Structure formats: C-alpha cells, structure tokens
Amino acid sequence: MPRAHAILAAVFCSAGAAAQPSGDVPDVVGQQIYERDCLACHMGDGRGVPGMNPALVSSAWVAGSPDALAGFILTGGYGPEVLMASFDYLSDAELAALMSYIRAAFAGLQEAPIEASLVERMRDQLQ
C-alpha cells in the first residue's frame, strides 16, 4: 500500500510528530490524534469518566465492526440526540490511523491497519 503509506507519512509530518518514530507509523499517528482529540474525555487509558464519558476499553463500538466505529466517530454517535462531538474534520487517513490505535490499545485487537478507503466509503454513505 505505498500510496496509503505516503498519505500517512504526510499526516505524520504535518502533525508535528517526534523526530524518531518508533514502530508502526499508523499507530503513532493514531495515538497522537487520540491524545489531541479524545483523551480529554475518554482518558489516556481508555477508561473514560464514569457517569460522564463511557469507557472505550470493553466498548462494543471499539471492538466491533470497523464500519460502525468509523460512522460513530464521524457523526458523534449517529442518533438524533448526539452526545459526542462529530469528528468529521479528520481526514480519511487520520481517522483510519486513530481507529487502528484505539482498536489495538483498548480492544486488544491484532489486525491489519484500518484502510483509509473504509473511512472514505463510510463518509460517502453518511452523506
């Protein structure tokens, strides 16, 4: 997937990342986006704030279908009474990297990185 890697590398650089990436670039990018956009409510360990912000650890949304998870984050929760902000300003590659990070970190899933094309498809469906 050279093209996806190029996109992720661009995202990585524009995010002002540390100069020395260790390990998987997508995971590093995903973690940075998580820390910037999600950590304040869901906490660094993904356990959330009881009674306010649900845990992502043991969340069926995080561990379940990537399509549904992408849709949740893009819309802020689908429903008529959306309680979470919508994060549709994230690019397809950014959201894919973020999803790969939270699925690995909080659901313990060992899987291939989420593809930006999955996010693109869900974004189109939601329009």
Residues of this chain that interact with ligand HEC (CB under 6 A) are 37-38, 40-42, 53-54, 56, 59-62, 72-73, 77, 83-85, 87, 98, 102
**Minimal distance, residue 79 CB to ligand HEC, in Å:** 6
**Minimal distance, residue 46 CB to ligand HEC, in Å:** 9
Give the number of other Cβ atoms within 10 Å of residue 62's Cβ.
Answer: 23
Q: 76 vs 26, 30, 61, 62, CA distance in Å?
A: 22, 18, 12, 13
**Minimal distance, residue 70 CB to ligand HEC, in Å:** 10
CA dihedral (87, 58, 28, 122) in degrees, to 10, reads -40
Instruction: For ligand HEC, give the closer residue by CB, 7 or 66.
Output: 66
Instruction: For ligand HEC, give the closer residue by CB, 2 or 95.
Output: 95
Encoded tokens for 80: 């008529």
Instruction: For ligand HEC, give the closer residue by CB, 6 or 83.
Output: 83
* Sign, CA torsion 15/33/4/24: positive
Instruction: For ligand HEC, give the closer residue by CB, 54 or 113.
Output: 54
